Structure 1
Amino acid sequence: MRTTLMIGSGVNYYSGIPGLGEITEQIIHAKNVGRHPDSNYYLNGYLGYRNLAYLNGHIKTNQKLIERICFYVQEFYKTINHEHVTNYEDFYYVLKQIEDSYRLEYENPVTYNLIKDIQRDCGFDEVKLRSAVTESLKFIECIVWQMLDKPIKVDAQFNIVKGLVTQLDLQNILSLNHDLVLESNLQRTGVDYFDGFGKKNLNVAEWLGFSDFKGDKIKICKLHGAIDWFSVRIKKHKEYNKIVKLPRNFYPESVCDLDDKIEMTNQTTPILLIGTFNKMLEYLNNIFELLYEEFKRTLKVTDLLIVSGYGFGDKGINSRLSFWLNKRKAHKMIIIHPDKKALLKQARGHFHKYIMSYNCIHPQVCFIEKKFENVTVEEIKDTA
């Protein structure tokens, strides 16, 4: 029986990784954060940077815009009578819709009134609003990246992986997390894994993909990117782009110091998939399309799926889980969560209606009401 583990951010609260609420508070209040001439925003002290007061006008503009977006999101959920705790993923989604409309990437005519309301309420002309939207998206990306990039002192919640490999044939880990807690544990405990990266033509690990993966190690597929993934420009015979892993606490603009074949970074922030429903569109683009396809392939060969730390709010993920549950291959989905009732309330859309709700639970779905760090292999085996 082939087993796959799927994890979300909830499993890493045990390691002190900030959650949705804490990151949202930092983004709203912008405490001890400043903009740097490299166009990034830095938490004071990150990579040795200190705040530069003369650039703090950007911070105030971002805060003004994000505060207004927060108000609109809250009013929307009040209007449709739905209980929802507004967070930075909501802010990012709305801002991304505005930016995509400006760029004619995924234009949405409904944003017209929103744009006009923001201009009126914030006192922005069109030029200032365009700039503020781009800056605010970058601001959110930087804060998420840096708050998740912290020294990992505790990773023992993943000690269970070794037992799952030997006793339940765990072959794959699907991660929705940007942080590096899982990798820290597997390296510490000596579990071999392949995450699509390896050293080939460069001095740093580069994206190779999963097409040549032999299945001789645990496969890790990080669907939403990671804080150490960066897009770089390679100059060797001809110019081309590549995604590489950079060491922690390394300034991205100095990437050419690691390998003289690397000319520069294409963007100074990591490759992270942030937001809500914009993720559905991003699953059709660039590396996220490859990762999403690997996610689908992994589910196709999975008999037992263990899920923990995920709130069932990503429509792109939920749709594939629903599809898998209704295939003959699916033996069971075991959800590890300390509060089943809260999770049922949190799950959204079709998944909430037909897979897990107060009124019905899919016959292939069962729960272990514990925190991930407290569950044992034996409990999972008994439930499977």
Structure 2
Amino acid sequence: MKPDRMKKLTVLLGAGFSANANMPIAKGVSDYFNRDLRDKLLNFPSSEWAWIDDKDKTIINNGHLSFERLGYSYVFNELLNIYKSNNSDKFLNYEDFYQFISDSYKNNNKISKIFSDAKEQLLQDYPCLIEKEDSDHLVLFNYKQYFKVLPILNYLIADILQPIKMNDDELCLTFKYFLDYVKSFDEVNIFTLNHDLIVERILELGGIEYSRGFETNNSVLVANDKKLPVYTGNYNKKVRVYKLHGSIDLYKFNYVEKNLDGYDQLTGEYDYFMTNDYYEKHRCQRVDSTTGDIVQNMASDIVPKFITGTDKTIIIDNDKMYKNIYSDFSRIMLETENLFVSGYSFNDTHINQHLSKNNKLSFINHRITKDYPFSSNGKNISDFKDIL
């Protein structure tokens, strides 16, 4: 007698999935940027950035200690004004705004004008600084530290997505039928386009073990006397979560070595590691894999690593982790017989090209804004209760 065939499920999650947990989707994130941005930013001694919104007095006080905080809020406000003037005074969405800023980085003349106009507006609002050209508030304009702008954007987006709006009981109730559906399969591959940690949290609440392809075995990254999980691409649980566009708990550790002059120099090698612990990301060190001796004292780039903007393929094609994840996505989609889609609007070409190669699968399309375009064998549903 032949053994029963394994039941396998592929899941694809978009922003609408997280919206079930009252998390902000594109418009919610965009609203933070589409307003007067002057004096809306906080910058902490740790180099991290956040919005002033919904912060208590202690956090606001700490976030006001940096002199750069005020200046960069004017830089972002100037970027916003230019962006909207280029789009008939409209703010399309935060990803388009992100791409505009990324593209502006390539034009030195544009950068100079942005910083010059931002400084002029700052001095109009704070005329007391006019006679203090050497003021710490104005240093960033003298050196045009534009390289900080995109990392600041990542911090600000992560700050919006970090809080989970629902409590655990509400999450369990909202996603009960989704969790029951996942448990009914022997093997589940979950591909999510979201940067937040909603799917991880509800799997944990449902008692479902999962892997994101990270392991501590053979990791050379340590913090607080313990190994940190680094990306290996080894998914060793029956439920596997692939963050197609990265995550707010994902960080990149770039390897450096001393050159002949004794200065740190990037080697081109790197590891991605995961943590939600403040001290782990700031105290991360690299050790020799053989001796265990510390060979690098700190990570130079503690910025949440996720892909946004309208041109994601450049990063995907040139990054070893994302290349591997998309290779798995391509392979698994070709093999998929059962597909569950939730909250995805089918607007990403680099995702659709893999979906379109399999028109024989059976699909369930949940919280639809569009019908599933690549197969007629399935159903559209508006409620998790209709999943079974």
TM interval, shorter chain, is 0.7 to 0.9
- Output one character per residue of 1:262-321: Cα deviation in whole Å (capped at 9) or x when no partner: 622231211111111x11222202122222112112212211111111122211111111
Tell me how far 1:130 sits from its aligned partner: 10
SS at match of 1:25: helix
Tell me how far 1:22 sits from its aligned partner: 2.1
Q: Whose Rg is larger? A: 2
Tell me how far 1:173 sits from its aligned partner: 0.7
The counterpart of 1:331, out of the listed 354, 357, 361, is 361
Partner of 2:188: 171
Partner of 2:137: none
Q: Equivalences for 1:297-312 in 2 at 5 Å?
A: 297-312=331-346
Paired-residue identity, % = 20
Contact 2:342–2:365 (CA under 8 A) maintained in structure 1: yes
Cα distance in 2, alignment partners of residues 168 and 315 from structure 1: 29
Partner of 2:306: 272
- Output one character per residue of 1:79-123: Cα deviation in whole Å (capped at 9) or x when no partner: xxxxxx711100111222233x459xxxxxxxx9xx499769958
Partner of 1:282: 315
Cα distance in 2, alignment partners of residues 182 and 69 from structure 1: 33
Q: Equivalences for 1:1-384 in 2 at 5 Å?
A: 1-29=7-35, 30=37, 32-36=40-44, 39-44=47-52, 45=55, 48=59, 49-52=62-65, 54-55=67-68, 56-74=70-88, 86-99=92-105, 101-102=106-107, 115=110, 122=117, 131=144, 134-151=147-164, 153-154=167-168, 155-156=171-172, 157-169=174-186, 171-200=188-217, 201=219, 202=222, 203-210=226-233, 212-213=234-235, 216-233=237-254, 241-250=270-279, 252-256=281-285, 261=294, 263-276=297-310, 278-286=311-319, 287-325=321-359, 330-337=360-367, 340=368, 343-344=369-370, 356=373, 362-364=375-377, 366-368=379-381, 370=382, 374-376=383-385, 379-381=386-388
Q: For the structure 1 residues 96 and 234, does the alpha-carbon distance in structure 2 shift closer, same or farther, using more than 3 Å as the test?
A: closer
Q: For the structure 1 residues 28 and 128, does the alpha-carbon distance in structure 2 shift closer, same or farther, using more than 3 Å as the test?
A: farther
Cα distance in 2, alignment partners of residues 146 and 323 from structure 1: 37
SS at match of 1:264: coil
Give the TM-score normalised by structure 1: 0.73
Q: For the structure 1 residues 131 and 92, does the alpha-carbon distance in structure 2 shift closer, same or farther, using more than 3 Å as the test?
A: farther
The one-letter code matched in structure 2 to 1:185 is I
SS at match of 1:224: coil
Partner of 1:108: none
- Output one character per residue of 1:119-152: Cα deviation in whole Å (capped at 9) or x when no partner: 6995899x96994754432332111111111156
SS at match of 2:284: helix
Count of residue pairs brought into register by the alignment: 331
The one-letter code matched in structure 2 to 1:207 is V
Contact 1:74–1:86 (CA under 8 A) maintained in structure 2: no
Cα distance in 2, alignment partners of residues 164 and 260 from structure 1: 47
SS at match of 1:283: helix
The one-letter code matched in structure 1 to 2:196 is D
Structure 1: any 5+ residue segments left out of the alignment? 78-84, 104-111, 348-354
Cα distance in 2, alignment partners of residues 147 and 279 from structure 1: 21
The one-letter code matched in structure 2 to 1:87 is N
Tell me how far 1:191 sits from its aligned partner: 0.6
RMSD over aligned Cα, in angstroms?
3.9
Q: For the structure 1 residues 264 and 16, does the alpha-carbon distance in structure 2 shift closer, same or farther, using more than 3 Å as the test?
A: farther
Higher helix share: 1
Contact 2:45–2:66 (CA under 8 A) maintained in structure 1: no
Moved more, 246-255 or 172-181: 246-255
Partner of 2:262: none
The one-letter code matched in structure 2 to 1:206 is P
- Output one character per residue of 1:148-175: Cα deviation in whole Å (capped at 9) or x when no partner: 1115624324433442244354511111
Q: For the structure 1 residues 162 and 260, does the alpha-carbon distance in structure 2 shift closer, same or farther, using more than 3 Å as the test?
A: farther
SS at match of 1:219: strand
Structure 2: any 5+ residue segments left out of the alignment? 1-6, 121-139, 258-265
Q: For the structure 1 residues 94 and 235, does the alpha-carbon distance in structure 2 shift closer, same or farther, using more than 3 Å as the test?
A: closer
Tell me how far 1:39 sits from its aligned partner: 4.7
Q: For the structure 1 residues 316 and 206, does the alpha-carbon distance in structure 2 shift closer, same or farther, using more than 3 Å as the test?
A: same
Cα distance in 2, alignment partners of residues 74 and 130 from structure 1: 31
